[in-house]
A = this chain, B = another copy of it.
């Protein structure tokens, strides 16, 4: 029957406040490496798993979001890069490298194969399909070009700028001819932004007693585009510094995700004074652009115009602590878990 042990990370309970490692638990199950005949499913070996802040939203019992909660007692779900072990779907063959929504476990049986993608660009690190070429990278791409509607010469502010999304937003903005400033939470990240990711300026928000004053220092003429990954007090300060007809792409509110009650935003009157467009978005609404995104980013990457920083942890056992680390800013760059060698 080809049954093998399968280490898995289960959601133990819905999280309250900042997620804690104890909200998850390691369990060892068994899995058959054969797909039930005629099922149309595939069986994959998970090579890399992605830790993304949006997953915090699935750790609460709330059904009004774009994606349902995880089920306590069940395997956590997330994006992965995987190798096909067995397939009853004619499109996939054993050995294929593919990416899609998988389980936080060593092997997963995938019954819904439609949203998966085959990986065809093998001269790029496989794990990049979870970041640069995956959901976060595409979030940066769709958010920047489609939501921010950037013009050459505009001033762009990116929060959580060294994160999975922010680092690409900043680089795309530079390639577009914008002036780009990023905020992050450690000196090391600020250095990366300035010295490796090509931001014009960067600052450590934790060292700024007055975010409004900090933004005024970096943007004396104001901000045309704010790519918001954090919400909260940074959003409120950015609102005070927007220019006429500015745009705010609301990508995430990681500063608020774990609070029982969010920080109130007080400066929305600026939307009127400055005629600002503030827009929430999800990359999944722009999937028709995915092929052009892939092509363009791969070209930039091969030309050396874009770099991508990853934070790689080793082994499925490291998944809970890696995930929890996102919310204290422990990760530097895109957080990935290496589950297995190819």
Contacts and interface: CB of A to CB of B under 8 A. Distances in A.
A66 B280 contact: no
Contacts of A265: 264-266, 268
Most chain B beta-carbon neighbours within 10 Å: one of A65, A231, A272: A272
Interface string A192-217: 00000000000000000000000000
Interface in A265-317: 265-282, 285
A64 interface: yes
A272 B147 CA distance: 12
A280 B285 contact: no
A113 interface: no
Nearest to A266: B262
Given A251-B272, A270-B280, 17 more contacts: A64-B273, A65-B273, A66-B273, A231-B268, A250-B272, A253-B268, A253-B269, A253-B272, A263-B264, A264-B265, A264-B266, A271-B278, A272-B282, A275-B279, A275-B285, A276-B280, A277-B279
14 contacts: A64-B273, A66-B273, A231-B268, A235-B268, A250-B268, A251-B272, A253-B268, A253-B269, A270-B280, A271-B278, A274-B280, A275-B280, A276-B279, A277-B277
Copies of this protein, total: 2
Contacts of A272: 250-253, 280-282
A97 to B, nearest CB: 31
A287 to B, nearest CB: 14
A256 interface: yes
Interface of A: 64-66, 231, 235, 250-253, 256, 261-282, 285
A225 to B, nearest CB: 15
Contact of A273 (B235, B280, B285): B280
A335 B57 CA distance: 47
Contacts of A271: 250, 278-280
A309 B271 CA distance: 29
A143 to B, nearest CB: 11
Contacts of A268: 231, 235, 250, 253, 262, 265
Contacts of A273: 64-66, 280
A280 B276 CA distance: 5
Contacts of A261: 266
B278 A279 contact: yes
A262 B269 contact: yes
A241 to B, nearest CB: 10
A252 B268 CA distance: 10
A277 to B, nearest CB: 5
Contacts of A278: 271, 277-279
Contacts of A285: 275
A247 to B, nearest CB: 10
B280 A256 contact: no
A261 B264 CA distance: 11
